[in-house]
């Protein structure tokens, strides 16, 4: 019975090729050294020996030599697969995986974190965050105390989605919801709508705040009425609504029927819905009553919506590109070369059929 095969080392590769261990290390790490001139022949000889022996570098040794081991963590504040939100999060994960493959990095999904007060928390007694060179954070809402600690402890990370500062600038790759929402408002105004309303939660993550801000600024610039309807799920209007221009009126409503009644009473002819499911429910209710009401939604579904055969005027969020660019930003941060650690990518406005000329 033969013993286990001994692991090939850098010293073995050096003896096989007649070069020093330092030379093997330089070839492995793709680096150059002013004191060691590597010819193409030497480099090729070392690479051939590595391939023939199946040598695999010790990740701990490579971390000490190169300061990182090319492992990127992925932390999700919400279950992303399998779950009801799986379809929404899937493109982010595809982008992360594809870009990690391009860069030759492995992904470590951090799933051992405990749930505290209904939310996952990054930091706990047995957290394995530091096994990765840095981490990508994914979730609708990210705990600001976690962000502040990551910044304070200088742990490389990137958030998918814009985040407010938390004791320092937060690296992120997000979608430019404010600009995209403003474009939807301009299209509605161009179709003759001069009394619009925004249907949203009023409080929540930065992505919702950006949408609401884009709406308020656009209606003010166009000089049209902009109502703001809030569901009772949020309880209170956000500070942005309270401080908005006089053209914005915040009204807390109970359900979809109440939203429709309020819109009709105010002479509103177009509603822009923060959540796709809310927009679908409102549009279908108006259609069932025979009411001409234009509705646009501000992104892909994040929860189940009523079945509909209508193509909605909406936003296409660059989710896959956001995932891929988050990997780019994170690796640049790890290497100390990140020049633009806060990125907002443009959304595409999908024309659809639900935003039409006023009265149609």
> β-strand 71-76 against 157-160: which pairing, if any?
unpaired
Task: For the sheet with 294-297, list strands across it.
Answer: 248-253, 225-231, 195-200, 270-273, 294-297
Which residues lie closer than 8 Å to 152 by C-beta, 6 or more apart?
167, 168
Taking phi over 0 as left and psi of -120 to 50 as alpha, with beta for the rest, 141 belongs to beta
pLDDT at 189 over 90: yes
pLDDT per residue over 204-239, tens digit each? 789 999 999 999 999 999 999 999 887 644 334 443
pLDDT per residue over 163-173, tens digit each? 988 888 999 99
Task: Output 130 or 36, whichever has higher pLDDT.
Answer: 130
Residues composing the chain: 360
pLDDT at 338 over 90: no
Question: By C-alpha distance, which of 114, 115, 125, 122 is closest to 151?
Answer: 122
Fold of 71-175+319-347: Rossmann fold (3.40.50)
Asked if 77 contacts 141 with a C-beta cutoff of 8 angstroms, the reply is: yes
- The pLDDT value recorded for residue 117 is 66
Asked if 217 contacts 178 with a C-beta cutoff of 8 angstroms, the reply is: yes
Q: How far apart are CA 275 and CA 279, in angstroms?
A: 7
Q: How far apart are CA 323 and CA 49, in angstroms?
A: 36
Considering the segment(s) 177-316 as one domain, its CATH architecture is: 3-Layer(aba) Sandwich (3.40)
> What's the pTM value of the predicted model, to 2 decimals?
0.76
pLDDT per residue over 304-331, tens digit each? 788 888 999 999 999 999 999 999 999 9
Task: Output 108 or 65, whichever has higher pLDDT.
Answer: 108
- The pLDDT value recorded for residue 285 is 95
Cα dihedral 124, 97, 52, 1 sign: positive
- The pLDDT value recorded for residue 201 is 79
- The pLDDT value recorded for residue 29 is 67
Question: By C-alpha distance, which of 215, 204, 172, 185 is closest to 344?
Answer: 172
Decide if 10-66 and 71-175+319-347 have a common fold: no
What CATH number should be reported for the domain whose range is 10-66? 1.10.260.40
> β-strand 314-316 against 342-345: which pairing, if any?
unpaired
> β-strand 119-120 against 115-116: which pairing, if any?
antiparallel
Q: How sure is the predictor about 136, in pLDDT bands with cuts at 50, 70 and 90? A: very high
Domain assignments of the chain as residue spans, ordered by start? 10-66, 71-175+319-347, 177-316
- The pLDDT value recorded for residue 242 is 35
Supply 200's token pair. Answer: 């949203």
- Of the chain, the end-to-end C-alpha distance in Å amounts to 84
User: Any idea which of 58-67, 174-183, 285-294 has the lowest mean pLDDT?
Assistant: 58-67
User: Any idea which of 53-62, 122-131, 191-200, 297-306 has the lowest mean pLDDT?
Assistant: 53-62
Rounded to an integer, the average pLDDT of 340-352 is 95
Torsion of the alpha carbons at 340, 217, 252 and 315, rounded to the nearest 10? -60
Q: Which helix (H) or strand (E) holds 108?
A: strand 106-109
Task: Output 128 or 59, whichever has higher pLDDT.
Answer: 128
pLDDT at 81 over 80: no
Residue 313's SS3 state is: strand
* Beta-bridge mates of residue 341: none
Q: How far apart are CA 224 and CA 248, in angstroms?
A: 10
Q: Which residues of 61-83 are buried (b: 16+ CB within 10 A; e: fewer)?
A: ebeebbebbbbbbbbbbeebeee
pLDDT per residue over 138-158, tens digit each? 988 888 888 999 999 888 999
Q: How sure is the predictor about 193, in pLDDT bands with cuts at 50, 70 and 90? A: very high
Question: By C-alpha distance, which of 327, 279, 324, 331 is closest to 305?
Answer: 279
């Amino acid at each position: 019975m033969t013993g286990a095969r001994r692991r090939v080392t850098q010293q073995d590769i050096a003896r096989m090729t007649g070069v020093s261990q330092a030379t093997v290390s330089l070839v492995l790490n793709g680096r150059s050294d002013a004191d060691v001139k590597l010819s193409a022949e030497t480099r090729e000889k070392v690479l051939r020996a590595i391939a023939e022996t199946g040598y695999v570098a010790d990740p701990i040794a490579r971390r000490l030599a190169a300061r990182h081991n090319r492992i990127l963590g992925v932390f999700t504040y919400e279950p992303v697969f399998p779950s009801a939100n799986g379809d929404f999060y899937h493109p982010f994960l595809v982008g992360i995986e594809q870009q990690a493959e391009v860069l030759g990095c492995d992904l470590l999904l951090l799933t051992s974190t405990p749930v505290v007060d209904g939310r996952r928390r990054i930091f706990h007694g047995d957290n394995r965050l530091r096994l990765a060179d840095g981490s990508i954070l994914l979730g609708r809402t990210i705990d600001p105390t976690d962000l502040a600690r990551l910044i304070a402890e200088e742990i490389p990370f990137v958030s998918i989605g814009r985040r407010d500062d938390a004791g320092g600038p937060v690296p992120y790759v997000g979608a430019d919801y404010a600009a995209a929402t403003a474009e939807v408002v301009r299209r509605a105004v161009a179709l003759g709508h001069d009394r619009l309303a925004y249907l949203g939660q009023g409080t929540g993550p930065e992505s919702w705040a950006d949408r609401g801000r884009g709406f308020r600024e656009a209606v003010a610039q166009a000089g049209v009425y902009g109502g703001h309807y809030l569901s009772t799920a949020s309880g209170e209007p956000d500070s942005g609504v309270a401080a908005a221009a006089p053209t914005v009126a915040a009204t807390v409503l109970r359900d979809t029927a109440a939203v429709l009644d309020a819109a009709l009473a105010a002479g509103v002819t177009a509603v822009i819905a923060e959540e796709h499911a809310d927009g679908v429910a409102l549009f279908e209710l108006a259609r069932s009553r025979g009411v001409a009401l234009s509705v646009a939604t501000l992104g892909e579904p994040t929860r189940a919506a009523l079945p509909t055969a209508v193509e909605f005027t909406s936003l296409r969020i660059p989710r896959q590109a956001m995932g891929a660019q988050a990997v780019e930003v994170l690796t640049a941060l790890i290497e100390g070369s990140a020049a633009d650690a806060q990125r907002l990518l443009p959304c595409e406005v999908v024309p659809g059929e639900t935003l039409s000329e006023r009265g149609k």
